[in-house]
Structure 1
Amino acid sequence: MILRIGLDFDNTIANYDLAFFKVAELLDLKTTATTKSEVKKDLLSRESGDLLWQKVQGLTYGRYIHLAELYSGLLEFVFRARSLGHQLFIVSHKTEFGHFDESLTPLRTAALQWLYSKRIVGDLPAQIKPHEIYFCQTQDEKILKINDLKLDVFVDDLEEVFNNQLLSLSVRRILFSAISEVKSEYECHFSWREISQATLGDISADQVSFVLKNVWPNFDVDSVQRVEGGGNSRIFKVATRDCDLALKIYPDLASDGRPRRINEWMALSLMHEAKMQTPKPFATDEDLNWSLIEWFNGKAVDGSDQARLKQAVDFTRALTKVSSAKRTDTSFGFATEACLTPIDVEHQIFNRLGYFKGVDDSDLQKFLEQVLMPMFNDSVKDARRLLKDGYERQLGTEMRILSPSDFGLHNSIITSANDLVFYDFEYFGWDDPVKVTADFCLHPAMRLDLSSQKYWVGEMRALFAHDFEFELRLKALAPLYAIRWALIILNEFRSDKLKNRLHAQSTIQIDIRAKQVEQLEKAKLMIANLDRSIF
């Protein structure tokens, strides 16, 4: 069924949160507020607040609209909808000029230019056309236009639009709210990825092919194939005229704000330049939150293969050289959940424990209360005793390493040329090499035997011998990293993490409850099998 879908503009397509803050600053209206609603509340509380707010609002929607951002997932929604043949319209209540704007910037012209700049509007098959955009002087005029267009669906951020008695009852009302806890009588979604899923269904290979041909036509796409099994990001194999590529569609930024795409893009660019064994980055798109990288055919790695372990050591050695050359480069941030101060891992464990407080599962709670928490308390005491003041001292920049933060043979592949290629750098950034060392051994996907773990730790001790506190930190913190990994294993009990799994896989092929039971047993083994003598 071909749908006629209407979209509001302000605060539905265009995200003004940062723009309102910046415009207030430009007017010397100092504020600590960071969102539109907070800026509005702050300004209205001041003397002549109504006038201040109207001035900021008028300037933001007009002269400074270039400061607005596109809501995450919106471009993907538009392109996917067009790939399915749906008709899209923008219907906005927008006057000709803004309040107190001495430049008299035409608001509608500014909005249209912004839509062009964000690739929502244009001549491509994937884009909305200018004649499909309607700006209305009043809200009632907007409602009548929605009816006149005979829209099947309309997406707006204001409930008052849906409450308007003039609106046709046949219109499916979708309330867009970037605040997830909003309660409404209407169908409500807090992200465009959610709206896409609710209206367009799961993304298909054909839709991906359509988007790729519109966004990156130079790649000359022949075919697209879905690849199951990604933990968080969706993966598609893209066959082009010249080579095979991997398309990564990263998790929804509205629910997982970590900059996975940019982290991985920067990491791959850096390592490709250093001629390390990683996929070559080909293209990335900020608004889509997609990247195209080199595809490798190959097979999984046996963690007990000593030759492959040595290659992992060599890769880490190469990372230390790259890290040394980038010490003063501020473009790389901290790795995801970096532990540059020993106490950081303690805080991370506390935070992770908080997610399980409300989980109604007696077996889980029994394990946490009777096994994990006692070990956690003892391990913190031991770490503080061993490290003394160093427990709360941040690691010096000269001792840090640019870390994949999810490094191991589980994220590598043996190519047809018998090369070992490492992939998955979504969490890349600066970290303590002690964490890299411990994580490599403890990662549940690695399953290293005792001999392999000892080999790895011995090689890391030698590699980081210049760090005189490396061994002490490793001994003190390894049990805490094991506890942290046990909690990561239990992510299947967290609803927010399950959402990422659903994004990555077109269908969940498993019984969720059975998976939770399985993961609980793995977490128990992580704690029970920890051999402290390795560290």
Structure 2
Amino acid sequence: MFRIGIDFDNTIACYDRLFPKVATELGLIADEKYSSKNNVKQHLLTQEAGDLTWQKLQGKVYGKYMLKADIFHGFYEFLCLSKLRGVNLFIVSHKSEFGHFDEEKFSLRKQALKWLQKQEILGCDKWSITESNIFFESTRKDKIDRIKSLQCTHFIDDLPIVLTDSGFPNIQKLWFNPSARSLTEQSINEFQSWRQITNYLYNSWTDKDIVQLSQHKFPDLNVQQALIQKGQGNSKIYKLLSDRKKYILKIYPDRQRDPRPRLETESLAYQKLFSQQYPVPECIIVDNRLGWGIYSWIDGQIIEQVDRVFLKNVFDFVRRLFKDSRSNVENLSHVFSQASEACISGRELIRQIEARRKKLAVVDSNRLQTFLTEHFDPYFQPLSTKVKSKHFFEEPLPQPLQILSPADFGSHNAIKIQEKQFIFLDFEYFGWDDPVKLVSDLYWHPAMNLSQNVKNEWLDFAKNLFIDDDDFQERLDAYLPLYGLRWCLILLNEFRTDKLQHRLHAQGYSSESKGVQDIAKLQQRQLNKAKKLLTMIQEMPS
């Protein structure tokens, strides 16, 4: 049986947002450019008496302001699965009683316990860690001695200096390294996120795990069965069955590997749109600690081919978004932020393409690099140069001309529930964007496979709808092939380790279980799609 010890500060409790906030409140930094604990530390240490200032700030953050700290994404998932598997968990932290130079004398240990209770980590039931399993030690040696006395089989810490200490026991050492620092020590297993640690120790959630945790966390749903649904997206999907209703559970991608707030974005979009009677699922439960969203299950049929009936529903949906975006822009601009990877200027579109291209440039694959250097680049470069001469290239599109966009919109994210009625799904990227991006993404999306006649109808509809935007037609003509090229690079995501992990997570696999040959076939299939799409772009009428 595993006996897992866990460090506390910067392993369970995350201070990346809190240090800049407190430093700003105390007048130690003047603006918002310091986005993490390390940013603040590096800045203060360059100041006169900076080390003393830094120590005082630490005392404030770990003491008076401790309750405002975040929990690392994925830890609560790890905690729940550990408890489901009957694993003994211990928190062992090197933490003094009081902070350095803290004139208010807040007890750091009591504050840590209060924070653990607030986060529902400390408790008396089987889902929590009891206070008798939490230890705060005055020195690193005391911490290591405690780990030995607890007979831990594993220990998780963000500080390699602890794990590599000569007195550290010969157990499994798990280095929690979200900032991807480098280390040559071979005896340490390195992980950039809690989900990676969870998958390493427990493989994955079973259907039984999902049912048990749902019954505990959401007893009103009365979940009796969970059935995994293997989709093509980035989130893992389960169908939850109760004695009365059916629900869809989405377990979203690893936030430490992809920080986009998919759960918060999608649940908010569903709540607002459903309340206005848009054809979207109802949001039932949002659990930010777990990273779970539960929505109404929609019985229906997948859309094999886009016909005029479906196209009419698309037109109606976008027409409503246009109307609401224009008529209530002042209020809605405070509710929704920009869509994920929004492109509200030509400069941003080119930047995103170049950033994706750069990430693929380091992939060790001859077939990929041949495609990029011999086919993609020769077409992209002159197109990029040409679009930079446009008068609208530099300036962001004004807010009143933007639209609330589902971002990943089309038949691949819709269900037919009646002969002429459809429900639209997957709003993880919802937000404000240039309507040209919405139009272009639907036009090029590989899952849509639209005929040229349907594409033309879609473009004609968009040109008429956005007639109040004087530059819409010219922007569309200039950006449409570039969005196609952007999709070529998106199709090649499976060559990138981070993106491949998202896809395997959604399908219930790990890179080990999928196998090298299967991954190679998947990558070749995606490369073939990218080649085909590039040919279509090149054959567009000028």
TM-score range, shorter chain: over 0.9
Shift of 1:366: 2.6
User: How far apart, CA to CA, are the structure 2 residues paired with 1:418 and 1:391?
Assistant: 40
Pair 1:34–1:475, CA change in 2 (3 A): closer
- Report the secondary structure of 2:335's partner residue: coil
Please, what TM-score do these two structures have when normalized by structure 2?
0.93
Question: How does 1:424-435 map onto structure 2 within 5 Å?
Answer: 424-435=426-437
In the alignment, what sits opposite 1:128? 129
Structure 2 CA distance for aligned equivalents of residues 433 and 393 of structure 1: 15
Deviation (angstroms), 1:165: 3.7
CA distance in 2, matches of 1:8, 1:524: 48
CA positional deviation for 1:346: 1.7
- Change in Cα spacing, 1:444 to 1:95, as seen in structure 2 (3 Å) is same
State which of 354, 362, 367 in structure 1 corresponds to 2:366: 362
Contact 2:180/2:192 (8 A) holds in 1: yes
Unaligned runs of 5+ in 2: none
Confirm or deny that 1:526 pairs with 2:533.
Answer: yes
Confirm or deny: 8 A CA contact 1:18 1:67 kept in the other structure.
no
Give the 5 Å matches for 1:302-321. 302-321=304-323
The 3 A distance-change label for structure 1 pair 359 and 48 is closer
Deviation at 1:531, TM superposition (A): 7.8
- Note the alpha carbon deviations across 1:306-361, whole angstroms, 9 max, x for none: 11111111111111122224411323111112111123222221111101212233
Match of 2:247 in 1: 245
Q: Does 1:162 align with 2:163?
A: yes
Between the aligned partners of 1:26 and 1:531, the Cα distance in structure 2 is: 54
Aligned residue type for 1:57: Q
Quote the offset at 1:24 in angstroms: 2.5
Partner in structure 1 of residue 29 of structure 2: 30
Taking the TM superposition and a 5 Å limit, the aligned residue runs for 1:489-528 are 489-507=491-509, 508=514, 511-528=518-535
Paired with 2:454 and 2:264, the residues of 1 have a C-alpha distance of 33
Matches within 5 A, 1:215-234: 215-234=217-236
Q: Distance in 1 between matches of 2:518 and 2:227?
A: 25
Question: Is 1:406 equivalent to 2:405 in the alignment?
Answer: no
**Counterpart residue number, 1:482:** 484
Q: Matched residues in 2 for 1:164 and 1:469: separation?
A: 64
After superposition, residues 348-497 of structure 1 pair within 5 angstroms as: 348-384=352-388, 388-415=390-417, 419-497=421-499
Would the aligned equivalents of 2:240 and 2:247 in 1 still touch at CA under 8 Å? yes
Verify the 8 A CA contact 1:336 1:429 in the aligned structure 2.
yes
SS in 2 for 1:530: helix
Structure 1 residues 2-51: Cα deviation after superposition (integer angstroms, max 9, x where no partner): 31111111111111222222332333222654333333333333333332
**Deviation digits for residues 46-76 of structure 1, max 9, x if unmatched?**
3333322221111211111023111111111
Whole-angstrom distance in 2 between the partners of 1:532 and 1:389:
26
CA distance in 2, matches of 1:101, 1:473: 58
Q: Counterparts in 2 of 1:270-281, with a 5 A limit?
A: 270-281=272-283
Amino acid at match of 2:340: T
Note closer, same or farther for the CA distance 1:164–1:477 as it changes in structure 2 (3 Å cut): closer
SS of aligned partner of 2:500: helix
**Which residue in 2 is equivalent to 1:58?**
59
Q: Structure 1-normalised TM-score?
A: 0.94
Q: Look up the SS of the partner of 1:182 in the other structure.
A: coil
Distance 2:102 2:41 in 1: 18
The corresponding residue for 1:43 is 44
Cα drift, residue 122 of structure 1: 2.0
Bigger mean CA offset, 131-140 vs 310-319:
131-140
Q: Percent identity?
A: 38
1:80 aligned partner: 81
- Mapped contact 2:346–2:388 kept (Cα < 8 A): no
CA offset at residue 195 of structure 1?
0.7
CA contact (8 A) 1:58 1:101 kept: yes
- Once residues 468 and 533 of structure 1 are traced to their aligned partners in structure 2, the CA distance between those partners, rounded to angstroms, is 24
* Residue 193 (structure 1) shift: 0.7
Distance 1:472 1:39, change over 3 A: closer
Question: Residues 111-122 of structure 1 correspond to what in structure 2 (within 5 A)?
Answer: 111-122=112-123
Distance 1:165 1:346 in 2: 51
Structure 2 counterpart of 1:69, which letter? D
Does 297-306 or 398-407 show the bigger shift? 297-306
Q: What does 1:284-323 align with in structure 2 at a 5 Å threshold?
A: 284-323=286-325
CA RMSD in angstroms comes to 2.0
Tell me if structure 2 keeps the 8 A contact 1:454–1:534. Answer: no
Distance in 1, Cα, partners of 2:317 & 2:115: 44
Q: How many aligned positions are there?
A: 531
Change in CA separation of 1:41 and 1:341 when aligned onto 2, cut-off 3 Å: closer
C-alpha distance 472-9 of structure 1, shift in aligned 2 (>3 A): same
Q: 1:160 to 1:520 in 2, by over 3 A?
A: closer
Once residues 218 and 391 of structure 1 are traced to their aligned partners in structure 2, the CA distance between those partners, rounded to angstroms, is 52
Q: Contact 2:67–2:114 at 8 Å: present in 1 too?
A: no
Distance across 1 between alignment mates of 2:19 and 2:221: 39
State the one-letter code of the partner of 2:523. Answer: Q
123-132 or 439-448, which deviates more: 123-132
After superposition, the C-alpha distances for 1:464-502 in whole angstroms (9 at most, x for unaligned) are: 222232222111211111111111111122122111112
Q: How far apart are the structure 2 equivalents of 1:124 and 1:237?
A: 28
SS at match of 2:248: strand
**What is the aligned partner in structure 2 of residue 5 from structure 1?**
4
Of 414-423 and 106-115, the range deviating more from structure 2: 414-423
Partner Cα distance (1:382, 1:55) in 2: 54
AA at the equivalent of 2:153:
D
Preserved CA contact (<8 Å) 2:7 2:91: yes
CA–CA distance in structure 2, aligned partners of residues 322 and 131 of structure 1: 55
Please report how far the alpha carbon of residue 278 of structure 1 lies from its aligned counterpart in structure 2 after TM superposition.
0.5
Distance 1:115 1:311 in 2: 48
Q: Is the 8 A contact 1:478 1:532 kept in 2?
A: no
One-letter amino acid matched to 2:213: V
Deviations 1:67-106 (A, max 9, x none): 3111111111001110111111111122222222222111
Q: Residues 479 and 157 from structure 1, CA distance in 2 versus in 1: closer, same or farther, beyond 3 angstroms?
A: same
Which sections of structure 1, spanning at least 5 residues, go unmatched? none
